[in-house]
Chains A and B, each alone.
Chain A
Amino acid sequence: MIRKQVASPEAAVAGIGDGAVVMVGGFGPPGQPVELIEAVLDSGAKDLTIINNNAAAGGEAIARLFADKRVAKVICSFPKAIGSTVFDDLYLAGEIELELVPQGTLAERIRAAGAGIAAFYTRTGYGTELTQGKPVQKFGGKTYVLEEALHADFALVKAYQADPWGNLTYRKTARNFGPLMLAAAKTAVVEVDEIVPLGAIDPEHVVTPGIYVDRVVQASSASGVGQDRAMMEGVVA
């Protein structure tokens, strides 16, 4: 029996302890697993390393995680946010470590971790302050920078639909880093709008195959239609 659904966001984030490295999906608000982030807040875990494109931007929950000083280090491409100074204040006060990574390099480092690739060469960032000290090599007359895979203990991701095996679909630009992060973390956790019966997702339309997913929780703020339907059909553990 493969049943990835867990009962609550608390159960979904169980095991995230102090010092954990946690990938959090989302580019702006789309794709932010709000209820999973709230569960991490409630858990009290601290000294976290957060890997997320936008640091404290993109929603109240993630802003609070930073404001409550639960994050020791952030690895991201763009921590600045319109209308929020949460990250700025911590950074300028020297209370948070920042590893700034070009966005495509961030995505590819995460992808590499999930694909078992230790490191790769890219031209992005060569000759800039963001790649200082990194090994370089010439290929075909052009200089490339060696970038290492980025692993995590947990990935927290928002998807649209899941079936009991953890096959996932996403909505529009909410997909962003989700599929990459789920493959790159030891424990992959997904918050979904809807849980549907096995077979309800056309195999041609599965974006993240369930092999990459460990835990699925239904968001309470979603319509719940999917859960009702799944429960009626007796497929929810």
Chain B
Amino acid sequence: MKRVCTAALLFVAGALAGRAQEVALPNRPQSVKFAAIGDNGTGDSLEYDIGRQMAAHHSRFPFELVIMLGDNLYGSQTPQDFVKKFETPFRPLLDAGVRFYAALGNHDNQNEELRYPPFNMGGARYYTYARRNVRFFVIDSDLIDPQQLAWIETALTNSTDDWKICYFHHPLYSDGKTHGSQVDLRVTLEPLFVAHGVNVVFSGHDHVYERLKPQKGITYFVSGAGGQLRKGDVKRSDMTAAAFDQDCSFMLVEVSGDDLYFQAVSRNGASVDSGTVHRQPRP
């Protein structure tokens, strides 16, 4: 009962706080709908605002899962921290049956998070799962050891799904001034992504939102402002397609047939970017 009341209160608060909550996505019945957040686990008011906005949007765009792009919990990771920095801000979504699938970031403690049931990691640093015609590959970008690299190649090879979506913490492409592109990681991972037809990659780490122009046929998103913000941190370049660094944000995504629709939403509910990625034929 208490949970229901909390959810209702948060939902109402979210609805009141949300200014626009416009969903610029088709919202088709059989599509795969998900949200993306990165670098959220602070437990402070910014994360709670994002949680409320996500809950408010969920009522209009019923996404079934949330991909977490790392730095899911900052600082200490006691059971109370999991409540404060994850369960409470996202309680309405958890109560609505939305499943979260976490990737590890540099601030995450794998000893605590891998077996934390709501993160659905199954005790693994890297893993894969699918929803209808979409397969997700969750990578631990902190340490790309030979075993993980072999696993990525095998998992990508074995996948016959229409859409291959990879996500991990450190961006291969980013115009964030603080961290920027992880080029050594790019040289390691990008050839595999290209060879095995990965369509879209999501990352965090830079506390901004950015969409990159397709690189070698792959669309890259940075969504690392789910609870932290580095205002004015984007230094636009030739590869910037869109960027937002003035407030915290999260993403809504819908995969329907050969199209992936995306929308980036700010902390106050404004749509800051949206568009479509059309699936390219496999090489």
Partners in one complex: no
